[in-house]
Amino acid sequence: MEAADGHGAVLRALRSELGAIVRTDAEALDGARVDKSGRRAPGRPLAVVEATTVEQVQATMRIATEHRIPVVPRGAGTGLAGAAIGGEGEIVLSTRRMDRILEISVDDEIAVVEPGVLNGELDAVLAERGLWWPPDPASKAISTIGGNIATNAGGLLCAKYGVTREAVLGLTVVLADGRLLRLGRRTIKGVTGYDLTALLIGSEGTLGVIVEATLRLRPLPSGTVATISASFASVELAARAAAAIVSSGVRPAVMELLDAHALEAIGEHLGLDLGGRGAQLLVQTDGAAAESEADAAVSVIAELGGDSELSNDPDEGERLFAIRRAFHPAMEARGTVLIEDVAVPRSALAAMFDAIARIESKYGISIPTVAHAGDGNLHPNFIIGPPTAGPRALADEPVVVPDHIWAAADELFVECLRLGGTLTGEHGVGVLKKRWLRAELGDDSYALQRQLKSVFDPLGLLNPGKVF
């Protein structure tokens, strides 16, 4: 592909200032067109800049602004909403190689990191010091802290330990014009002006490029971790049990719910017979009250007809959790997947599962669903195409979501809103969910949000076409 004249000039400027970190080889360009959502950007980006320093990020943004070229900030490309995919006429600015841990303060329970540090890498380093950064998206082994922050990543532990927003004290960001902005602080409390740190968290690369983060750490939970695996005759009973466990005062560290279709797919994948179960609820409690909380949860489960296995042994707990960990691999084996990410108030979990069942019959499809039940966050999975062997093996045409799947996903979203829920609990809007954004926000809020973006990015160069 030959760049247009203006594109030639921007490439020359990037190469002259940044040298070899400006990649235009096919592997780099095609790799940056996709993420883990299965979405692929139309056309190839102009270049992928693999920044290793803040100054390189600033230079990239200055050049992009001068030439009016859109920029897509990107981490490890593990997003599930297409927020970090770059296409024709765009520069992809990767911070994946800015991967230094700059500081760990045991006394202040703070870490200062570059955005490309993998969540799992940080975890390992912190564990040696008895510390922990709670955000734990299922992708933590392969996703970056910068990406976690850009999407306000959640995960399995949020109901007890919070989402990313609660675990970030400050950010350094590069604005669209290349200026460097320091936001937030190193202290736990602070109300000096507006909370721009919170505004940037979850902004999906549309307001600035995150180049440094000050993270709030916790001590590693000590003592027993108790694990419960409980099967139920129906997903409704399991959902009611999940809500009842929380309203009984128990704070599970993890509470995952798998419905019958999810269990069926996992059983097939692992060669186990899980087909007869209506639903499985997996609960972990930790900390000083782990055992008494687990006992209380088992009682609630029994009252709702669930059949529990309880273990305080880590290996046995891991075995009980194996079926949950097999869910995404089982889905990938079945085909290309559209992963929904709705969240409803806990009391509406059972009703949401009921709505999913109705949508399944109406459209004659199966929607295997896993839920982070403690915070009402459901991931209904729609199979939209044949299995792929990963991004590199994508056919020439991007995955086209069939119309009846969009219609079913649409109904699911409307049901979720009706139940007091939200479009996306933790994956973000990206390109995948922007068709529904205005319906949830309302026209005034939508317009206001776009105006706020203009304050940060008056030329509209940061990740255009994403979110809005």
User: In the complex with its own copies, which residue's Cβ is closer, 406 or 468?
Assistant: 468
Give the other-Cβ count within 10 Å of 196's Cβ. 18
Residue 207 C-beta: closest distance to its own copies, Å = 8
Which one of 25-33, 64-72, 90-98, 196-204 is the stretch in contact with its own copies (CB under 8 A)? 196-204
Q: Which is nearer to its own copies, 76 or 349 (CB)?
A: 349
For residue 427, give the nearest of 79, 92, 130 by alpha carbon.
Answer: 79
Nearer to its own copies, 204 or 264 (CB): 204
**Residue/partner pairs of 117-125 with CB below 8 Å, 24 or more apart:** 117/144, 117/145, 118/76, 118/142, 118/143, 118/144, 118/145, 119/143, 119/144, 119/145, 119/148, 122/215, 125/101
Residue from 147, 202, 306, 368 touching its own copies (CB under 8 A): that is 202
169: number of CA atoms within 13 Å, CB side?
18
In whole angstroms, the minimum distance from the beta carbon of 467 to its own copies comes to 7
Based on CB atoms, which residue is closest to its own copies, 269 or 433?
433
Token reading at 182: 């320091």
Which 35-54 residues touch its own copies, going by CB under 8 A?
none
Tokens of 392: 């590199």
Exactly one of 82, 134, 376, 380 binds its own copies (CB under 8 A); that residue is 376
Chain centre to alpha carbon of residue 24: 28
Q: Does 312 bind its own copies (CB under 8 A)?
A: no
With respect to its own copies, which residue has the nearer C-beta, 52 or 422? Answer: 422
- Regarding 457 and contact with its own copies (CB under 8 A), the answer is no
Contacts with its own copies in 411-440 (CB under 8 A)? 420-429, 437, 440
Q: How far is the CB of 49 from its own copies (least distance, A)?
A: 23
Binding status of residue 105 toward its own copies by CB under 8 A: yes
Is residue 103 a contact point for its own copies (CB under 8 A)? Answer: no
Question: How many residues sit close enough to its own copies to count as binding (CB under 8 A)?
Answer: 84
State which of positions 206-265 bind its own copies (CB under 8 A): 207, 219, 222, 243, 246-247, 249, 251
How many Cβ atoms sit within 10 Å of the Cβ of residue 94?
A: 29
The structure tokens listed for 1 are 């592909």
From residue 217, alpha-carbon distances to 109, 118, 132, 344 in Å are: 5, 15, 6, 28
Q: Are 331 and 379 in contact (CB under 8 A)?
A: no
Binding positions for its own copies, 332-351, rule CB under 8 A: 343-347
Binding-site member from 43, 89, 287, 460 for its own copies (CB under 8 A): 287
Q: How far is the CB of 140 from its own copies (least distance, A)?
A: 16
Among 182, 325, 392, 418, binds its own copies (CB under 8 A): 182
* Nearer to its own copies (CB atom), residue 246 or residue 323: 246
Of the two residues 45 and 202, which places its CB atom closer to its own copies in the complex? Answer: 202
> Contact between 456 and its own copies (CB under 8 A)?
yes
How far, in Å, CA of 152 to CA of 200, rounded? 9
Instruction: Tell me if 142 contacts its own copies by CB under 8 A.
Output: no
Q: Is 196 in the site for its own copies (CB under 8 A)?
A: yes
Q: Within 350-369, which residues bind its own copies (CB under 8 A)?
A: none
What does the alpha-carbon distance between residue 132 and residue 364 come to, in Å, rounded to a whole number?
44
Identified binder of its own copies from the candidate list 449, 459, 460, 464, rule CB under 8 A:
449
Cα angle: 280, vertex 282, 283; to 5 degrees: 145
**Binding segment (CB under 8 A) for its own copies, from list 55-63, 100-108, 320-328, 381-389:** 100-108
Q: What is the 3-state secondary structure (H, E, C) of 389-452?
A: CCHHHCCCCCCCCCHHHHHHHHHHHHHHHHCCCECECCCCCCCCCHHHHHHHHCHHHHHHHHHH
Q: How far apart are CA 261 and CA 254, in angstroms?
A: 21
- Using CB under 8 A as the binding rule, whether residue 330 contacts its own copies is answered as no
Binding to its own copies by residue 448, rule CB under 8 A? yes
Neighbours of 27 (CB within 10 A): 10
Rounded Cα gap, residues 60 and 247, in angstroms: 51
Phi, psi for 233 (deg, rounded to 5): -70, -25
E strand or H helix at 381, and its extent? Answer: strand 377-385
